[in-house]
Structure 1
Amino acid sequence: MRIAITGASGLIGTALSRSLTAEGHDVLHLVRRPARTAAEIEWSPEEGRVDTERLAGVEAVVHLAGAPIGPARWTARHRHRVRESRLAGTRTIATVLAAMDTPPRRLLCGSAIGFYGDTGTRSVGEDGPRGTGFLADLVAEWEAQTDPAERAGIPVAHLRTGVVLDRAGGILGATLPLFRLGLGGRLGDGRQYLSWISLADEVGAIRFLLERPDITGPVNLTAPGPVPNAVYTSTLARALHRPALVRVPGALMRAALDGFAEEAVLVSQRVVPERLTASGYSFHHPDIAGALSDIVGR
């Protein structure tokens, strides 16, 4: 299959590209500079421009590009950058693909479980209601940008991704050195649910969905076993054979990170992958103990 990927230099994009290439797929990267190799396609989300001649023959597009949400203070400038990078990029991809004489047969667009807001201890699947807050509003707007592609008959799925766990990056990569020193610990009261997914399953689920154009709309990319932050913390510490006695007060995180702390760190999101499970996807890491043991033990 000939597949184009935006955001291919990120944690997920890099792993996905490597996996697809290893299986013999022809992978093209959309880059925001002049293309340097035959495997690159220039695009400019801000200008709504893509080198469509190079997209000819592409059978699927995986759109993962977007400015990092955090960890950072959510200033008005940062929120604007996060929002515009997602809306402009997704709108550009959807509009360009819709106008092609022979459009791709599949479009997978990055999204986030932030759509559901704070779910407390309540378990939610893809039919769960939209929450409140910056992230919930952003995801709703973000997903709506694929409308041109959907109207053109391209099967679109929105990858509502949870916290991706891997040593190479994300929350685990950032905090692993502290945990190895025995300085890790729970965040806030530790009762907030963490909806996580291993990088191996993130890539596996995306590859599964590339082959299933019948699955459209939102798809939760999370493991079937979300856990409270305190359980995640203690499980990681056990996998490293280290204590986890530190507690980071919620008030301290709110003072340092304001909105990011409230909506991305201290928020409780118990999100489950109902559609993936019902469709027959088999998780490599369905439980947190096995996932962390495998990831940090490599």
Structure 2
Amino acid sequence: MKALITGATGFVGKRLLHRLNEPAVVLSRNAAKAEKTLSAFKVKAFNWDAENQPAPAEAFDGVDAVFHLAGDPVAEGRWTEEKKRRMRASRVEGTRNLVNTLAQLPKKPRVLVSASAVGYYGDRGDEVLTEDADPRDDLLAEVCVAWERESHAARHAGIRVVNPRIGIVLGEKGGAISKMLTPFKFGVGSPLGTGKQYMPWIHINDLVSLMLFAAERDSISGPLNGTAPNPVTNYEFTKTLGRVLNRPTFMPAPPNFMLKLLIGEFANVLLASQNAVPKRPLDAGFQFQYPTLEPALREILN
């Protein structure tokens, strides 16, 4: 399978490159820098300003599958108005510009795996969320709805579209774990808020395997929850991480208002609850290597 990847220099993109059976094509704002950063993978990179121009048609020669992972990082920086504009534009306009090129290719890829996120569901308490659940109307949900809608336009060009709604990605040297470890190493790890909010986590190896699984099977299309089959509450996650690190977790949680004061509007994401389960992957026969949290954390941290 010859693949083209956007967002290839990110945490998930690099792991996907590692798993592919041949060198991939990469679209990047700075192709020369991307080729240098990804030199171990022998990629061929093309320049692309995703928000402002169509993807370069010449990059898709012989490409079977497109993995569209690009987007301004949600968890980095305060959510200023400019930050929120970039979060939306990088995903919505970027996907539109990608699909516009795909639709005009004389020989099109078989499949577009276009990322989305569990933010689609909003804050839902302990409600079990399969892929059939409706979206909410907060900022991230609205971005996810628009993001997926733009990718679906590729269907009119005869391209199969899959939307992994990605949860909290856990893995070595990046992802959510890298942001969580510092307080735990100093013995001040604690739940956030009430600790009752569900955290729809997934090991990065399972996420990459799921994307490849979906790309290779013509029977799979539409949304797939990119989450492990056993979500946990924030309290359970905190206790498990503390146990794996052999660190205490008895510190009281910071008040919600303090968390919002420290990191701004992004605090609402940390306090939101999404009990998302991967019904469609399981129904399709996908087998998770890390279906439960503690073995996943031990593989990453030990």
Partner-residue secondary structure (3-state), 2:296: helix
Gaps of 5+ in 2: 36-42
Is residue 2:27 matched to residue 1:30? Answer: yes
Match of 2:193 among 188, 193, 200: 188
Gaps of 5+ in 1: none
Partner-residue secondary structure (3-state), 1:254: helix
After TM superposition, give the deviation of residue 33 of structure 1 in Å.
2.6
- Cross-structure match for 1:11: 11
How many residues matched? 293
**How far apart, CA to CA, are the structure 1 residues paired with 2:292 and 2:129?**
18
- Give RMSD over aligned pairs: 1.4
After TM superposition, give the deviation of residue 71 of structure 1 in Å.
4.2
After TM superposition, give the deviation of residue 168 of structure 1 in Å.
1.4
Is residue 2:88 matched to residue 1:83? Answer: yes
**How far apart, CA to CA, are the structure 1 residues paired with 2:256 and 2:148?**
31
Match of 1:293 among 277, 285, 298: 298
Instruction: Give the AA of the match of 1:17.
Output: L
After TM superposition, give the deviation of residue 260 of structure 1 in Å.
1.1
Kindly provide the CA deviation profile for residues 49-102 of structure 1, in whole angstroms up to 9, marking residues without a partner as x.
Answer: 322123111011000000011243222111111000111211111111111000
- Say which is worse superposed, 27-36 or 224-233, in terms of deviation: 27-36
Is residue 2:49 matched to residue 1:44? Answer: yes
**How far apart, CA to CA, are the structure 1 residues paired with 2:158 and 2:125?**
37
Contact 1:73 1:256 in 2 (8 A): no
Contact 2:25 2:59 in 1 (8 A): no
Partner-residue secondary structure (3-state), 1:207: helix
Structure 1 stretches of 4+ moved >6 Å: none
**CA spacing shift, 1:35–1:54, aligned 2, 3 Å:** farther
- Cross-structure match for 2:38: none
- Cross-structure match for 1:206: 211
**Within 5 Å, which residues of 2 pair with 1:152-231?**
152-231=157-236
**Within 5 Å, which residues of 2 pair with 1:99-110?**
99-110=104-115
Partner-residue secondary structure (3-state), 1:77: helix
TM-score by length of 2: 0.93
Is residue 2:252 matched to residue 1:255? Answer: no
Instruction: Give the AA of the match of 2:220.
Output: I
**How far apart, CA to CA, are the structure 2 residues paired with 1:149 and 1:214?**
17
Percent of aligned pairs sharing the same letter: 38
- Cross-structure match for 2:125: 120
Instruction: Give the AA of the match of 1:90.
Output: T
Contact 2:67 2:112 in 1 (8 A): yes
**CA spacing shift, 1:258–1:59, aligned 2, 3 Å:** same
